[in-house]
Amino acid sequence: MRAKVWKYAKTIGVAGTAALISVVYYQHQKQYTPVHASWTTNFEPSVKWDENWDRRNPESIVKPLKSSATEKDKKDYDNELQKQTSTASRHLLLIRHGQYVLDGATDQQRILTALGRKQAAYTGQRLKDMGYNYTDLISSTMARAVETSDIIHKFLPNLSIERDPLLCEGAPIPPEPPVGHWRPEKSQFYQDGSRIEAAFRKYFHRAEPSQTTDSYEIIVCHANVIRYFVCRALQFPPEAWLRLGLHHSSITWITIRPSGRVSLRQYGDSGFIPIEEVSSA
C-alpha cells in the first residue's frame, strides 16, 4: 500500500500525498470513521467559536436528563429539544444613514443633505430590486436615520416602520488601538456601550423555533453601531470596531443560521450608488 502511495508523490505534491494517504488508509482499514483533511488534523484554533453565544442553544434551554432517566424520560427530552430547535435563518440588513449635515447644533438639525437623500433612494431601490420578503423596517430615533428609513419606506410601502432609541449612534467601547483625534468622555462609553450592547442582544440571535421561513429584517442605524454589531456577531474583539470603514447608505448583510452560526454576507456594500455620489464622512 505504501509503495502505491509514494509512487504518486512527485506528481501530486506533499499536500496531495498527505490527503491520498488518509484516503488509502481509510479504505485499507475498512473503518467507518470520518477522515479529516490533512490541514485540519490536530488543529487547535486560537479562539474557539462559542456555539451558545445567544444563549438559545436548545441544550442550554431544556432541563438536562438525570442519571436515572428512563427511556420515556429520554424520549421526552429529545422531543423537547426538537421543540426548542430553530429551523429558519434570520437575515439582518444593516443600513447606514445617508450623508447628513455635520455642523448641526442639535440632532434635529443634523438632517440629510441633498446627496444623502439621493443615497437613501438608491438604497431603497436596491432593497426593492433584491426582491426579498422583508418582515421589518426598523430605525434609530435620530433624525438622519429616521429620514433615511422614510425614504427607503417609499420603495417598500407594505412595511411598517418601528423606531428604536437603542439603535442611536454612540461610543460602543474604547477602540484598540486608541486614536488621538476622537476622545469621548469615559462616561460616554459606559452609557452608550451598555445601550448598544442591549441593541445587539435584542436583534442578534437565532430564529425562534416558531419561525418556519427565513426572515429579512432591515435596520437603519449608524456607523459605530453597525461596526460594533459586526465585530460582536462574528465574535471578533469588539474593540476592533473603529478599524472598519463604512459608506453612507451602504448595506451590511449578516445571516444567523438555525445552528447559531453567523456569516457576513456583505459588508458596507455601496456598489449600487454611482461612484461620484459615494461618501463616508
What is the rounded distance in angstroms from the CA atom of residue 163 to the CA atom of residue 220?
9
Neighbours of 57 (CB within 10 A): 18
Domains in the chain and their CATH numbers?
2-40 (no CATH), 51-85 (no CATH), 90-277 (3.40.50.1240)
**CA distances, 274 to each of 91, 122, 271 (Å):** 26, 9, 7
DSSP string, 46-99: SS---TTTTS--HHHHSPPPPTT--HHHHHHHHHHHHHT---S-EEEEEEEPPP
pLDDT exceeds cutoff 60 at 28: no
What does DSSP assign to residue 243? G
Give DSSP secondary structure letters for 111-123: -B-HHHHHHHHHH
Question: Where are the strands (E) in 141-193, listed by range?
Answer: 161-163
Distance separating alpha carbons of residues 212 and 259, to the nearest angstrom: 14
Residue 38 reports pLDDT greater than 80: no
pLDDT tens per residue across span 110-127: 999 999 999 999 999 999
Q: Return the pLDDT at 279.
A: 97
Torsion of CA 178, 179, 183, 184, to 10 degrees: -60
CA 175, distance to chain mean position in Å, is 20
pLDDT at res. 6: 47
Tell me what the pLDDT averaged over the chain comes to. Answer: 88
**154 vs 41, more confident:** 154
Round to whole Å and give the CA distance between 211 and 126.
26
Residue 16 CB contacts under 8 Å (≥ 6 apart), including other chains = 8
Specify the pLDDT at position 44. 81
DSSP-derived letter for residue 173 is S
pLDDT digits (tens, 9 = 90+) for 139-183: 999 999 999 999 999 999 999 999 999 999 999 999 999 887 767
The Cα–Cα gap between 109 and 101 comes to 7
Whether the bond into 237 is cis, omega within 30 of 0: no
Q: Report the pLDDT value the prediction gives residue 41, as an integer from 0 to 100.
A: 62
